[in-house]
Amino acid sequence: MKIVAKDAKLDQRLISSESQASWRRILAKYQTPEYGPSLWQVANTIIPYFILWYGMYRSLSISYWLTLLLAIPTTGFMVRIFIIFHDCGHGSFFKSRRANDIMGFLTGILSFTPYYEWKHNHAIHHATAGNLDRRGVGDVLTLTIDEYLQLPWWKKLGYRIMRNPLILFSLGAFIIFAFVHRFSSKSSGKRERMSVAWTNLALATILVVLSWLIGWKEYLLIQAPILFIATSVGVWLFYVQHNFDGTYWERQDKWEFLKAGLDGSSFYKLPGILQWFTGNIGYHHIHHLSPRIPNYKLPKCHKENPLFHVRPLTISTSLRSLRYRLWDEEAKLMVGYEALKHYRDRLQNTAG
């Protein structure tokens, strides 16, 4: 059976069991990690990060503006570190589970994220993305218009603050990685709780040692801007991968995994340098269909299979996502708060 995909929306013919077996076979060809590319990615990411981090320290004696300037490329490598961490969490960076877990724990320390706690929550995100009845774990909270209108005023205010881009992609993102990740959730198991504890201990040790070597003020002057910029970029990437024009949300009884991947996860087409620093995470539609594909094989999978050629998001078109706040369940669209008036009008016209 020939598999055909439309440019913007998933072709219904792909939902058949025969077609599902076909696209799963296609994806399986790219799921085997290779030690060479993986180790090279570790080397060309972590080594430059440490070199630039040291360069930022040396620049403190020259000008803090120079320090902040160096924070920009350092941030890029921190984002790449998180991508390695992310792949390890999916078991897709090395063939060995133990190697993935060790590298995941170490890169988790560098990215201020407890490995097993994040791995557990992110697996839930992959299993529930686009499912309106299973929101709330590992995602950016998105309410429907109905849900928002039923909130008391103070919860509406809280939602508006949380979804405000000036908060979500700045202080909010920083707080999540710097402070929220220091605690496990109530539903966490022993392994997840221990990963939080060990990560916190490692971060505290690094803080004490570097404070002794270079001074605690100097450490914060270096690490804080790196973490602030990196978390802002990271949360933006995560947000735009699922909050965009044409995304997919459905109730449990209508939810389909393939649609959630191809229609509900974006193909964020970035310039080459940004694609490199973000570890090809822009091919998010393929990643959601098969998280076992290493990040360095995603472009090849996309290039060789027209099935995955969905309509891309560019930097300019992705900026429209800044205004999206709610899901209009009737129109099946992401909308801004201005849609609330039209929604009330529709209700009045229906009632009349």
Note the pLDDT tens digit of each residue in 296-323. 999 999 999 988 888 899 999 999 999 9
Structure tokens given for 224:
């804080």
Q: Let me know if residue 67 belongs to a domain.
A: yes
pLDDT, position 68 = 98
* Span 198-204, average pLDDT: 98
> Residues 79-134: pLDDT tens digits?
999 999 999 999 999 999 999 999 999 999 999 999 999 999 999 999 999 999 99
Burial status of residue 146 (CB atoms within 10 A of its CB: 0-12, 13-18, 19 or more): middle
Amino acid occupying residue 325: R
pLDDT, position 185 = 86
> Residues 134-169: pLDDT tens digits?
987 888 889 999 999 999 999 999 999 999 999 999
Find where tokens 């450490």 sit.
219
Q: Let me know if residue 265 belongs to a domain.
A: yes
Residue 352: is its pLDDT beyond 60? Answer: no
Q: Per the structure, how many domains does the chain have?
A: 1
> Residues 217-267: pLDDT tens digits?
999 999 999 999 999 999 999 999 999 988 999 999 999 888 888 889 999
Structure tokens given for 264:
């509900």
Residue 13: is its pLDDT beyond 60? Answer: no
The percentage of the chain sitting over the pLDDT mark of 70, rounded to a whole number, equals 91
Structure tokens given for 210:
């570097």
Q: Let me know if residue 111 belongs to a domain.
A: yes
Spatial contact of 302 and 286, defined as CB atoms under 8 Å apart: yes
Q: Let me know if residue 224 belongs to a domain.
A: yes
Q: Rounded to whole angstroms, how far apart are CA atoms 85 and 102?
A: 10
Q: What is the pTM of this model?
A: 0.90
Centre a 10 Å sphere on the Cβ of residue 136 and count the other Cβ atoms it contains.
9
pLDDT, position 12 = 46
Confidence of residue 351 (pLDDT cuts 50, 70, 90): low
The domain containing residue 56 runs over which residues?
A: 12-139+165-323
Q: Strand order in 326-328's β-sheet?
A: 143-144, 326-328, 333-335
Centre a 10 Å sphere on the Cβ of residue 186 and count the other Cβ atoms it contains.
5
Q: Let me know if residue 74 belongs to a domain.
A: yes
Q: Let me know if residue 144 belongs to a domain.
A: no
**Mean pLDDT of the chain, nearest integer:** 90
Q: What is the Cα Rg of the chain in Å?
A: 21
Nearest CA-CA partner of 211 in 46, 342, 57, 324: 57
155-163 LR contacts (CB < 8 Å, sep 24+): 160/325, 160/337, 163/325
